[in-house]
Each structure stands twice: as C-alpha cells, then as structure tokens.
Structure 1
Amino acid sequence: MNSSIRIKLSVMMFLEFFIWGGWFVTLGPFLGSTLKASGAETGAVFSTQSWGAIIAPFIVGLIADKYFNAERILGVLHIVGAILMYQMYQAADISVFYPYALGYMIVYMPTLALVNSVSFNQMSDPEKQFSGIRIWGTIGWIVAGLIISFLFHWDSEAGIGAGLLRNTFLMSGIASLVLGLYSFILPATPPKIAKGEKVSIGQVLGLDALKLLKDKNFLVFFLASILICIPLAFYYQNANSFLADIKVDNPTGKMTIGQISEVLFLLALPLFFKRFGVKYTILVGMLAWALRYAMFAYGNAGELSFLLIIGIALHGVCYDFFFVTGQIYTDSKAGPQAKSAAQGMIALATYGIGMLIGFYIAGKISDAYTVAGAHDWKMIWLIPAGIAAAVMVLFLLFFKDDKRVKIEA
C-alpha cells in the first residue's frame, strides 16, 4: 500500500470515529439536562444505535455489495447524516429529537462496515495492515472527547447548565459533511457481487452463518454475547451522566482513558490469549465488567476518585478480552465461506439485539432509582455488575470449548 492511499484511509477512519465520539459519549447528559428526558426516553434514544445495527446488513448487503461503489455510498450516507445531525442540533424537545436520531443511526451504522470494506479493498495483507489504519479511528474518538472537555468545556457543570452540549451535534455534523465530500476521492471500491450474478438474499445477509449455532459451545458463546451487552449498555448510556452528576471535572476527556487502554490491552491480548486460551480470556473480560461497575458504585469525585479512573481504564480489558477475543473465536469456528457472515451475525447479536435489550433495561433501572431528580448511582451500577457476574458464572459452567485458537502475536 503506497503512502498516499494509507493517508487517505487513515483520515477516513479518523473522521468516521471522530463523528461518533463527538456526540454519542455526551448524549446522556444532553438528553437529561437539556431535553429533560426520562431514563426510559434516554434508553429509547440510545437504542437507535441498535436499530441502526439491525438494519445495516440490509443496506450494506443488498445495496452496497450489489449495486454501487462502497466509497460513493459512504459519501452519500455521511452527507445525509450531516443534515440529520443539524436537525438534532436544532431539536427543542425529545419528541422532535428522537426521529432524527433514529434516522441518523440508520444511515451511520452501515458506514462502519463500509469504511472497513474500502480499507480491505486496498490491502494486500489485511491482518498486518488493517490495525495501522484502524487505530486512527480510536485516535479520532479520543480527540473528539479531548476537544469537548479541554478545548470548549462543553461538558463542564457551567457548560451543561448553559446547554452547550448541543454544540457537539454541530461539530459532528460538520465532520460528517467533510467525510461525506471526502469519500468521493477515496480509492474506488466496486460492488463485491458481479453484475448478473445470482445470489440469494440469505447469502447476501449471511444467514448461512446460523448453522454455527448447532455447535453447543458456540451457542453458549452466542447467548453470552447477547447477555453481556445488557451491562455494556449501562456504560454507554449512564457513564458520562454519572461522572457529570457527581461533579467529576472534564468527564468526557477522562472517559478517553478507556479508548487509550483499549489500544494498550489490544497489544497485550495475543500473549494472554496464547497463555490462557479463549475461555479464560473471555471470562477475564466478563469479570472486568463486574469489577468496573462495582468501582463506579463505590467511587466518588473525592478521595475515592481513583476507583472511577480504574473503572474507566478497565474498558480496554472489557472490550478487547471479550469482543475482540470473541471475533477471533468466531473466525476459528466459521469455515472459509462463512467468515464474514459469522462476524456479521455476532455484530447483529451484540450491537443489535443485546444492546437493544440493554438500553431498555438501563432506562427502566435509571427511572426506578431516581427520586426528585436525584439518582441512586450506587444501585444503578450494582445491578449491571450483578448481571455481568451472573453471565460470567453461566459461561464458566456451560462453555467447555477451550481450544487454543492460533493468533498472530
């Protein structure tokens, strides 16, 4: 891959995740403080991500793979996304905001697969080359958080009170427009399915991967993936609101520690994976979810603030040791013809079904433990900690396959 293409793909990844990190992290505080949304209403807005993930395979599989170049669809979706993001910026109440958020996530979630498709199409050795491109996405997410906290202070107590979090949508909308226009100069990525080639809808949507569920151990892993996303949803929905509510300075900036740890633990994952195997690597990831929420439950903005920082830093273990290991395990179980379909099925199960259930439960729990506007954060965090611990125990008991999957160090 020449340097010009590498730079183009890196900028694409940076903008792709700068957009998402630029508004999604602070969405909870914005909905609660500016739009006065209830926990259930907040959960419904966060669930738009799941609906987008469920619909995404249809857009990518039935349109991008069959009819149009991936980079052109990427451009159109981000331009439409910029328009919807501007409408979110202007929305005055939750009833107006929700349909725009739903529309935005329906056009954004397919772009996650499209940027990967554009990248892979330019790589001769994706296993070695992709990580160097993808890391710019994590950097983009981190930069967005640092800008919000340390440059503009939109997430400060005064900023939230003045409604400045609304500006995150304008910032992300501008970035979306830039990426939309920029996409049209990205390397050409033609449809994967040749013109005239007959392919069933089941093949396009990857339904062939369902046969993997006949394997008892994979079925246990699949169900555990759905269940662990229930406590995961609590983090996305409540973490920033929690930190802001207990008066932690620069909460969005501090949450970028999670993305930094994600990069660091990703480097440690191959060694851990080789030493302990798939079962215990995944169990460590599940244990990290339970521990981080217990730390959130008992931490505070004063002398116990170190518990909050450690809890945020555990994000790397939570994500890499469960989700990345799960992707490797899935790849090892799928045959050559079903690898992409199997990964799509896991993404649908986690970001789609699992988090859809999780956001609903998180919203209900938040409402149940909020009295006169005051949150009982201890209980709000102990409940997902308990769910994560229960999933961990069930996985320990029923998952028997500890195959040492080969992985590049």
Structure 2
Amino acid sequence: MKFNSKIQLSFMMFLEFFIWGAWFVTLGTFLGTNLQAKDSEISLAFSTQSFGAIIAPFIIGIIADRYFNAEKILGIIHVIGGVLMFWLYQTSDFSMFFPILLAYMILFMPTLALVNSISFNQMSNPEKEFSVIRVWGTVGWIAAGILISFLGWDSQEGLSQGLLKNTLLMASITSIVLGFFSFSLPKTPPKGKLSGEFEVSKALGLDALSLLKHRNFAIFFISSILICIPLAFYYQNTSPFLTEIGLSNSTGKMAFGQVSEVLFMLLLPVFFSKFGVKKTLIVAMLAWAIRYFLFAFGDVDSGVWMLLLGIALHGICYDFFFVSGQIYTDSHAGEKYKSSAQGMITLATYGVGMLIGFWIAGLISENYADMAGNHDWKSIWLIPSGISVLVLLFFISLFKEEKNISPN
C-alpha cells in the first residue's frame, strides 16, 4: 500500500471514531442530566445505533457494492450527519432528540462498514495491514474522551452547567470535516455492478447471506449477535455507573480502554497468526466476562483498581473479537461482496445483538433502581458477565478451528 494512502486512511479512521467517541460515551450521562431522561428512554436512545446497524447492510448492498464509489458515499453521509448533529446540539427535549438521533444513526452506522471497505480495497494483505490503519480509529476515540475530561464537560461542575451538550457540537464540526476530506480518499468503485435482469436480493446485498452456508461462519455470526447483548451493557451503563459512584474524570478514565485497544490492536496480527481465529475469539469473550465481574465488585476506594482493570480489558474485548471478526469476514467474502459482507456483520453485532442488549440493559437498570434513581450496580453487572460465559461455552463447543485464514 502506498504511503500516501496509509496516511489518508489513518486520518479517515481517526476522524470516524473521534466523531463517535465525542458523544456516544457520555450519551447516557447527557440524557440523564441535561434532558432528565429515564432509564427506558436512555435505552431507547442507544437502540438507535442498532436500528442504524440493521439498515446499514441494505444501504451498503444497494449503493456501495452496486452503484457509487464508497468514498463519495462516505463524504455525503458525514456532511449530512454533521448538520443533524448540530440540530441535536440545539435540542433540549427528548421527544425531539430521539427522532433526530435515529435519523443520524441510520446514516452513521453504514459508515463503519464503508471505512472498512475503503481500507480493505487498498490492501493486499489485510490480516497484517488492517490493524495498523484501524488503530488510528482507536486513537481518535481516546482523543475525544481525554478532550472531554480536559475541558471539564463531564465534571460535576460541568454537568451542573449543562456543558456536556458541547460534545454534540464537537462531533458536528468533526463530521463535516471528515465529509469533505472523504472526497480526497483513494477511489473505491463498486465491485458488484448489477448485470442482466434486476434481482432484489442482489440489489439489497442479501446475496452475502450465502456466507452463512459455511458452518463455522454461521456459528461466528450467531456468536457475534449473542456477545453483543452484554456489550450493550458496557456502552449504555458504564458512564452513568462511574458518574453515580463518584469516579472523577470518568470519561477520561474510560479512554484507558481505548489505550489498551491500541496496544492489543498492534499485538493482534501476531496473536491471530500464531493462535488462529478460534483462540483469538475465545480470549475476547472470556475478557468480557471478567470485565463485568470486576465492575460488579469494584468501587472508587480500595476497589478502584478493579474498575480501571475492567475498563482496560476493553482492548482485548473489542480488538480480539470485532477486528478479528472483520478480518475473518473479509477472508470468507469474495471480491463481489466485500462491502455487503462487512455490512452484514455490522448488522449482526451493532444491529440485532446490541438492539436486544440495549433493551435488556434498560429493563434490568430500571428493575435495580430505587425511587431516588440509585442503582444496585453489583446485581446489574453480574448479569452480562453470566451471559458472556454462556456465549463463550456455545462458541467453544461448536466452532471448529480454521487454519490459513487469508483474504480472498
């Protein structure tokens, strides 16, 4: 891959995940403090990510794999997204906030598959090259979290002044910047232009579902859905949890998870090639179970190390499952379905799995909350820990090791 392409793709990843990390991490806290939203409403807001992810494969299947260059679609989406995010910044009522957020996430979630598709298109060996590019997305997420805490938007004083809404403005500006930058990215033309008679299944990218005929891929697909149920607890509950128990600079400390993500992203190619896809995914799911167990028994005094270790495990949880899964998916997808296959796995993880997870997390959070809004966090966190163990046992029993994973 050319050096200029590496720089462009790295900056693309940085901005992509800076935008997401700028507002998503603190969304639960923002909704509770600025808009006085209930746990069920917060759960509904987070579910917009899942609705977007479910729709994403259809957008990618229709457009990116069939008709228009992926980098142009990415640019248009982010410019429109920046406008919607600015609208959210000006909104002070949840009933108005929710539909705008839903529209934004329907646009944003396909970009996760698009940036992967644009990157993979420039690589001859994604197994070794992708992690070096993708790590800059993690750096972007870290930068957003550290900046929020540095500016004091998530401090008790900042929360009382309603400063957390500035995260939406920051995301809006960055989204527009990425939108215009995207038009300068390496050209990524559609690989699977339709020929002959129009077929709805091909136009929607549903032909990528043929990958599920492969038994191992089907087990991986199902496991991806199931493991994202406990993952939803992390995204939805961690910021309110740390804020409620009184951990200072919680957003900055949550960025430790992305710092570890950088480390394990760089270690991933070595681990992946030495131990194979099955062991890599097993380590990820085991780390999930341990993380929630640490959250259940940690506190801001003598148990603060458990909280920080649980946050730091995010690197293994995310890299060893999601990035490995993206590489594994790419290895099974042919040239014709690279974008739609990435969109399909986005549907499984951020879509179906996390939609179920956000719904369950919302119900459990309300069930373990008292009249004053305080939560029994120990009971809440032990539930996703147990779910992670069950998914791990399912995967270990049914997934067969594959050797020589390499892109098609």
Q: Same fold by TM-score, threshold 0.5 exceeded?
A: yes
Contact 1:274 1:407 in 2 (8 A): no
Cα deviation, 1:242-292, whole Å, max 9, x if unaligned, reads 111111111111111111212212333344445544433322221211110
Report the secondary structure of 2:23's partner residue: coil
1:334 offset after TM fit, Å?
5.4
Q: Which residue in the other structure is 2:247 paired with?
A: 248
Q: Which residue in the other structure is 1:13 paired with?
A: 13
Give the direction of change, closer, same or farther, for the CA distance of 1:52–1:196 in structure 2 (3 Å limit): same
1:235 offset after TM fit, Å?
0.3
CA distance in 2, matches of 1:55, 1:31: 24
Give the direction of change, closer, same or farther, for the CA distance of 1:250–1:395 in structure 2 (3 Å limit): same
Task: Write the letter of the residue equivalent to 1:76.
Answer: I
Task: Write the letter of the residue equivalent to 1:44.
Answer: L
Report the secondary structure of 1:101's partner residue: helix
Q: Which residue in the other structure is 1:210 paired with?
A: 209
Give yes or no for the alignment of 1:355 onto 2:354: yes
Give yes or no for the alignment of 1:303 onto 2:332: no
Give the direction of change, closer, same or farther, for the CA distance of 1:115–1:279 in structure 2 (3 Å limit): closer
Q: Which residue in the other structure is 1:103 paired with?
A: 103
Contact 2:81 2:172 in 1 (8 A): yes
CA distance in 2, matches of 1:247, 1:207: 47
Q: Which residue in the other structure is 2:387 paired with?
A: 387
Give the direction of change, closer, same or farther, for the CA distance of 1:26–1:122 in structure 2 (3 Å limit): same
Q: Which residue in the other structure is 1:163 paired with?
A: 162
CA distance in 1, matches of 2:399, 2:54: 30
TM (normalized to structure 2)? 0.91
Give the direction of change, closer, same or farther, for the CA distance of 1:4–1:331 in structure 2 (3 Å limit): closer
Report the secondary structure of 2:302's partner residue: coil
Q: Which residue in the other structure is 1:221 paired with?
A: 220
Contact 2:110 2:343 in 1 (8 A): no
Task: Write the letter of the residue equivalent to 1:294.
Answer: F
Greater shift in the superposed pair: 182-191 or 232-241: 182-191
Q: Which residue in the other structure is 1:60 paired with?
A: 60
Q: Which residue in the other structure is 2:235 paired with?
A: 236
Cα deviation, 1:23-69, whole Å, max 9, x if unaligned, reads 00110100111111111111111111111111112222212333333
CA distance in 1, matches of 2:195, 2:270: 46
- Equivalent positions of 1:333-348 (< 5 A) are 341-348=340-347
Contact 1:273 1:281 in 2 (8 A): yes
Report the secondary structure of 1:402's partner residue: coil
Task: Write the letter of the residue equivalent to 1:13.
Answer: M
Contact 1:270 1:407 in 2 (8 A): no
CA distance in 2, matches of 1:144, 1:103: 23
- Equivalent positions of 1:46-57 (< 5 A) are 46-57=46-57
CA distance in 2, matches of 1:87, 1:187: 31
CA distance in 2, matches of 1:51, 1:78: 18
Give the direction of change, closer, same or farther, for the CA distance of 1:333–1:140 in structure 2 (3 Å limit): closer
Give the direction of change, closer, same or farther, for the CA distance of 1:377–1:347 in structure 2 (3 Å limit): same
Q: Which residue in the other structure is 2:315 paired with?
A: 316
Q: Which runs of 5+ in 2 are unaligned?
A: none
Contact 1:157 1:247 in 2 (8 A): no
Contact 2:292 2:310 in 1 (8 A): yes
Give the direction of change, closer, same or farther, for the CA distance of 1:185–1:294 in structure 2 (3 Å limit): same
Contact 1:32 1:42 in 2 (8 A): yes
TM (normalized to structure 1)? 0.90
Contact 1:274 1:404 in 2 (8 A): no
- Equivalent positions of 1:139-158 (< 5 A) are 139-150=139-150, 152-158=151-157
- Equivalent positions of 1:393-408 (< 5 A) are 393-396=393-396, 398-406=397-405
Report the secondary structure of 2:183's partner residue: helix
CA distance in 1, matches of 2:123, 2:159: 44
Q: Which residue in the other structure is 1:192 paired with?
A: 191
1:227 offset after TM fit, Å?
1.1
Contact 2:55 2:347 in 1 (8 A): no
1:2 offset after TM fit, Å?
4.5
1:228 offset after TM fit, Å?
0.9
CA distance in 1, matches of 2:10, 2:270: 27
CA distance in 1, matches of 2:256, 2:62: 38
CA distance in 2, matches of 1:297, 1:206: 41
Q: Which residue in the other structure is 2:267 paired with?
A: 268
CA distance in 2, matches of 1:277, 1:198: 41
1:321 offset after TM fit, Å?
2.5
Report the secondary structure of 2:73's partner residue: helix
RMSD of the TM alignment (CA)? Answer: 2.5
Number of aligned positions between the proteins: 406
Greater shift in the superposed pair: 56-65 or 231-240: 56-65
1:400 offset after TM fit, Å?
4.8
Task: Write the letter of the residue equivalent to 2:45.
Answer: V
Q: Which residue in the other structure is 1:32 paired with?
A: 32
1:297 offset after TM fit, Å?
0.8
CA distance in 2, matches of 1:274, 1:11: 27
Q: Which residue in the other structure is 1:370 paired with?
A: 369
Q: Which residue in the other structure is 1:77 paired with?
A: 77
Task: Write the letter of the residue equivalent to 2:380.
Answer: I
CA distance in 1, matches of 2:129, 2:197: 32
1:98 offset after TM fit, Å?
0.3
CA distance in 2, matches of 1:234, 1:286: 14
CA distance in 1, matches of 2:332, 2:2: 34
Give the direction of change, closer, same or farther, for the CA distance of 1:310–1:205 in structure 2 (3 Å limit): same
